[in-house]
Amino acid sequence: MRLTTKGRYAVTAMLDLAIHAENNTPISLADISKRQAISLSYLEQLFARLRRSGLVNSVRGPGGGYLLSDSPDNISIARVVDAVNESVDATRCQKRGDCQNGAPCLTHHLWCELSDTIHDFLDGISLGQLLRRREVSDIAHMQQGHHDERVISFAH
């Protein structure tokens, strides 16, 4: 089973957006990039897919950036992962059933069920639920503190 950096980074960036999108103020990808240590060009690719999937809206111009298109409680982690064309697949054959010389292997259906269970698990968790987790708010607060310290040190 693989969940590559594409899926992980998309979820991390969407959670960062949900945390920092106060008063309907767009969040820049540069800010997410700094807080989450994800390359800006990679975020641009991910957010193009997230926008096409209808999960975020872009705001152009000065002060522009991105906003969630819906309430964090209505955006499941599975939707985010699916939006960036990431699959959580425990099979070797990408569920095609050709894993052993063009036919299903003995455990093909087991791995398909595991993949479906993982997808269902991620579909049952929303960005809003993650926002309400204490460990998420603690980490976000710590990240903001480090970001503020960097801004202050650059100012002097």
- Nearest residue to 92 (alpha-carbon basis) of 119, 112, 122, 120: 112
Phi (first) and psi of residue 89, to 5 degrees: -130, 115
Sequence-ordered strand ranges (E) for the chain: 56-59, 65-68
pLDDT at 2: 61
Residues in the chain: 156
Listed by start position, the domains of the chain span 5-90+117-155
Confidence (pTM):
0.84
pLDDT at 5: 87
Q: For residues 51-61, b (16+ Cβ closer than 10 Å) or e, as one string?
A: eeeebbeeeee
pLDDT at 140: 86
pLDDT at 21: 82
Give the separation between CA 27 and CA 14, rounded to whole angstroms. Answer: 11
Class of domain 5-90+117-155: mainly alpha
> Helix, strand, or coil here: 126?
strand
Q: Which amino acid is at 9?
A: Y
pLDDT in tens, the chain (156 residues): 567 889 999 999 999 999 998 778 999 999 999 999 999 999 999 999 999 999 999 999 888 899 999 999 999 999 999 999 877 788 888 888 888 888 888 999 999 999 999 999 999 999 999 999 999 988 988 887 765 544 444 444
